[in-house]
């Protein structure tokens, strides 16, 4: 597709195509009623922060009726709001206010499993072995003479066996916590129920759905043992490990029929409603299968998030991503952090180094064609918090325990700091003690208020980068060109932009051209005075820094 002039309005593209979407982890964004847990009215009140940041959409993690054993990813009623988070009217209000501000709203759909408190699972337990009620889930008899061994050798992603035995002796499958029984997607009522759920939220005006565990819905029908499955995976949140393994529980071909059906449902509605897959697949090619023309619109590109800090590995992911998505005519997405992984400044080394690298990786990502996903708090430069064991609540931690050596995911889910010098930093009207996870005492310097108008702050950097993206990158065509790695330096062209990322220890001379935005301060090159004219000739790009330079079009 031909590049569009910068500043031109694209009317030929659906809104999500180049959108920057901000992930709101509902428990930790903003608390309106002082109970220490974020809620829908809290989000509505803080929507101007997202408008001022310059994102296009928000994705809100599950706020439906739930006992909260996996913080909402255990849904007891898909068409109601948990009182912890508000009411259906609050959801309507949020959607309406977001739309007024020009923000799209994506909600989370959790189809792989229900909560054990869902009416279907309660009925299944009550009805007993062989009943139609049990057929909506994956109940099986156990192995061994008395059936006391699990039906197969699968592990829960959160640690321990993927099966739990009920008092009458049968076992049910749960790829996650025992409070999250897996549905049997071969049962027709399951598909019918989720179609109604989609329509319920589409009718209320949502613009899209993030599909939780999209690669998990169908299992190999025999529920056979996993080859090599005797050993427990090393990582408690094992989906994040991407080594090629035998996986009869993930990424089965039949799962794609579900998304074809959902695509048809969305196409009955106006306004480019969309689906984005959370699919921890094993290869870029298997990721691309979820975004074939008649399936989902996007899939999270976890390869980008998993790439180590190196110019070569970033280049490899960029190349691999384009090859994969172009093979099915789809467009790429990019993501560096979410509520399941260690925040990217911490992954890249923590402290000033980690933050500099995180900003550089973010700026590089925002130059790429396609859509980018940001996770709440990354615009504040927040790091992973070392949550004290007594405050940890993640079922991945509770199931795996201290011997796993992994603290779980609570450290990326700490309530946001908005203003003030001490916890709860404006998170809500409650006390610091009320916050569902305590905030660190050092966060006073990270609040939105403290960073606003400070040109050196990460918040102002994000605002500037998103502004520059709207002007330049979002209208600079669909491709990158001249992608190259020289030593520790990654370069690519995107329309009028030359993007340079310095992952190495040496200062790199900047090419001539107007510097549009940089992730850190540029430095004078040895022997030349700092250049204040904006030509860039005498300036260098320091280590752990990225820059967008406006250059003449390449021939
Ligand atoms: C997804 C969610 C994660 C949740 C899991 C089970 O990976 O992102 O937070 O624990 O699914 O629903």
> Tens digits of per-residue pLDDT, 47-93?
999 999 999 999 999 999 999 999 999 999 999 999 999 999 999 99
Cβ atoms of residues 516 and 549 within 8 Å: yes
Asked whether residue 436 carries a pLDDT value surpassing 90, the answer given is yes
Residue 459, φ and ψ in degrees, nearest 5: -60, -45
* Percentage of residues of the chain with pLDDT beyond 70: 93
Per 3-state DSSP, the chain is made up of helix, strand and coil in percentages (nearest 5) of 30, 15, 50
Mean pLDDT, residues 149-164? 96
Answer with the residue of higher pLDDT: 388 or 537.
388
Residue 73 CA, ligand 1 centroid: distance in Å: 6
Q: Which of 61, 54, 173, 68 is nearest to 121 (CA)?
A: 173
Residue given tokens 């001249």 in the structure block: 482
pLDDT at 238: 54
pLDDT at 97: 98
pLDDT at 5: 39
Residue owning the nearest CA to atom 9 of ligand 1: 340
Residue 41 CA, ligand 1 centroid: distance in Å: 24
Total residue count of the chain as it appears in this document:
555
- Rounded to whole angstroms, how far apart are CA atoms 256 and 215? 9
DSSP 485-528: EETTEEEEEETTEEEEEE-SSS-EEPPSSEEEEESS--EEPTTS
Asked whether residue 553 carries a pLDDT value surpassing 60, the answer given is yes
Residue 213 CA, ligand 1 centroid: distance in Å: 7
Which residues lie below 8 Å from residue 116, measured CB to CB, with a gap of 6+?
67, 74, 122, 178, 179, 180, 181
Asked whether residue 232 carries a pLDDT value surpassing 90, the answer given is no
Residue 146 CA, ligand 1 centroid: distance in Å: 34
Helix, coil or strand: residue 298: strand
pLDDT at 174: 98
pLDDT at 52: 98
Mean pLDDT, residues 342-364? 98
pLDDT at 540: 95
Ligand 1 binding pocket mutation candidate from 23, 64, 73 (most atoms within 8 A of CB) = 73
Instruction: Output the average pLDDT for the chain.
Output: 93
Please report the atom of ligand 1 found closest to the CA of residue 73.
12
504: exposed, middle or buried (C-beta count within 10 Å: 0-12, 13-18, 19+)? Answer: middle
Residue 365, φ and ψ in degrees, nearest 5: -60, -40
Please report the atom of ligand 1 found closest to the CA of residue 158.
10
Ligand 1 binding pocket mutation candidate from 111, 212, 338 (most atoms within 8 A of CB) = 212
Residue 393 CA, ligand 1 centroid: distance in Å: 14
Sign of the torsion angle spanned by Cα atoms 493, 494, 495, 499: negative
Please report the atom of ligand 1 found closest to the CA of residue 176.
6
pLDDT at 227: 92
Mean pLDDT, residues 218-229? 95
pLDDT at 242: 57
Selected catalytic residue, list 5, 230, 268, 526: 268
pLDDT at 6: 37
Residue 434 CA, ligand 1 centroid: distance in Å: 25
Mean pLDDT, residues 313-326? 96
Residue owning the nearest CA to atom 2 of ligand 1: 212
pLDDT in tens, 508-541: 999 889 999 999 999 988 655 554 454 444 789 9
Lining residues, ligand 1, CB within 6 Å? 70, 73, 110, 176, 212-213, 278, 339-340
The verdict on whether omega for the bond into residue 171 sits within 30 degrees of 0, i.e. cis, is no
pLDDT at 400: 83
Mean pLDDT, residues 545-549? 97
Residue owning the nearest CA to atom 3 of ligand 1: 340
pLDDT at 183: 98
Residue 547, φ and ψ in degrees, nearest 5: -145, 150
Q: Is 212 a catalytic residue?
A: yes
pLDDT in tens, 235-272: 555 556 656 789 999 999 999 999 999 999 999 999 99
DSSP E strands, 62-187: 64-65, 77-81, 104-109, 139-140, 163-165, 171-173
- State the pTM of this model: 0.95
Selected catalytic residue, list 182, 212, 251, 295: 212
pLDDT in tens, 165-191: 999 999 999 999 999 999 999 999 999
pLDDT at 526: 67
Residue 271 CA, ligand 1 centroid: distance in Å: 28
Ligand 1 binding pocket mutation candidate from 213, 299, 339, 400 (most atoms within 8 A of CB) = 213
- Rounded to whole angstroms, how far apart are CA atoms 482 and 198? 42
Asked whether residue 32 carries a pLDDT value surpassing 50, the answer given is yes
- 20-29, 328-337, 520-529: segment of lowest average pLDDT: 520-529
- 354-358, 425-429, 531-535: segment of lowest average pLDDT: 531-535
- Show the DSSP H helices in 204-283 as ranges: 255-267
pLDDT at 365: 98
Residue 9 confidence class, pLDDT cut points 50, 70, 90: very low
């Amino acid at each position: 597709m031909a590049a569009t002039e910068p500043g031109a309005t694209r009317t030929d593209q659906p809104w999500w195509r180049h959108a920057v979407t901000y992930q709101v982890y509902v428990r930790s964004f903003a608390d309106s009623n002082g109970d220490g847990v974020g809620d829908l009215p809290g989000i509505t009140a803080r929507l101007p922060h997202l408008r001022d940041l310059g994102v296009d959409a928000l994705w809100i993690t599950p706020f439906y009726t739930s006992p909260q054993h996996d913080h909402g990813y255990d849904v007891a009623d898909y068409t109601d709001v948990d009182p912890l988070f508000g009411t259906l009217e609050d959801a309507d209000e949020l959607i309406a206010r977001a739309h007024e501000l020009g923000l799209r709203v994506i909600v989370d759909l959790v189809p792989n499993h229900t909560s054990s408190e869902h009416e279907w699972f309660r009925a299944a337990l009550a009805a007993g072995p062989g009943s139609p009620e049990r057929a909506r889930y994956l109940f099986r008899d156990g192995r061994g003479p008395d059936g006391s061994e699990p039906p197969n050798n699968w592990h829960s992603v959160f640690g321990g066996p993927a099966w739990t035995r009920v008092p009458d002796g049968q076992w049910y499958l749960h790829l996650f916590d025992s409070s999250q029984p897996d549905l049997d997607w071969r049962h027709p009522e399951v598909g019918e129920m989720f179609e109604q759920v989609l329509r319920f939220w589409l009718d209320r005006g949502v613009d899209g759905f993030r599909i939780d565990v999209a690669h998990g819905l169908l299992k190999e029908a025999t529920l056979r043992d996993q080859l090599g499955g005797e050993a427990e995976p090393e990582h408690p949140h094992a989906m994040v490990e991407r080594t090629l393994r035998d996986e009869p529980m993930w990424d089965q071909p039949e799962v794609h029929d579900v998304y074809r059906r959902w695509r048809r449902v969305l196409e009955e509605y106006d306004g480019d409603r969309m689906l984005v897959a959370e699919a921890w697949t094993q290869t870029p090619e298997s990721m691309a299968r979820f975004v074939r023309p008649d399936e989902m619109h996007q899939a999270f590109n976890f390869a980008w998030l998993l790439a180590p800090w190196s110019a070569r590995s970033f280049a490899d992911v960029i190349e691999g991503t384009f090859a994969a998505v172009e093979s099915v005519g789809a467009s790429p997405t990019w993501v560096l952090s979410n509520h399941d992984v260690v925040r990217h400044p911490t992954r890249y080394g923590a402290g000033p180094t980690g933050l500099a690298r995180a900003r550089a990786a973010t700026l590089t990502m925002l130059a790429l064609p396609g859509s980018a996903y940001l996770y709440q708090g990354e615009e504040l430069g927040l790091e992973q918090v070392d949550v004290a064991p007594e405050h940890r609540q993640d079922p991945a931690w509770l199931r795996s325990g201290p011997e796993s050596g992994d603290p779980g995911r609570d450290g990326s889910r700490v309530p946001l700091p908005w203003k003030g010098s001490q916890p709860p930093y404006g998170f809500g009207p409650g006390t610091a003690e009320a916050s569902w996870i305590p905030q660190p005492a050092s966060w006073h310097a990270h609040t939105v208020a403290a960073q606003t108008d400070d040109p050196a702050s990460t918040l102002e950097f994000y605002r500037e980068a998103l502004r520059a993206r709207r002007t330049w990158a979002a209208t600079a065509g669909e491709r990158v060109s001249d992608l190259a790695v020289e030593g520790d330096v990654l370069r690519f062209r995107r329309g009028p932009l030359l993007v340079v990322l310095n992952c190495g220890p040496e200062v790199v001379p900047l090419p001539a051209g107007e510097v549009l935005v940089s992730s850190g301060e540029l430095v004078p090159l040895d022997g030349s005075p700092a250049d204040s004219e904006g030509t860039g000739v005498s300036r260098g790009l320091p280590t752990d820094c990225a820059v967008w330079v406006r250059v003449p079009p390449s021939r």
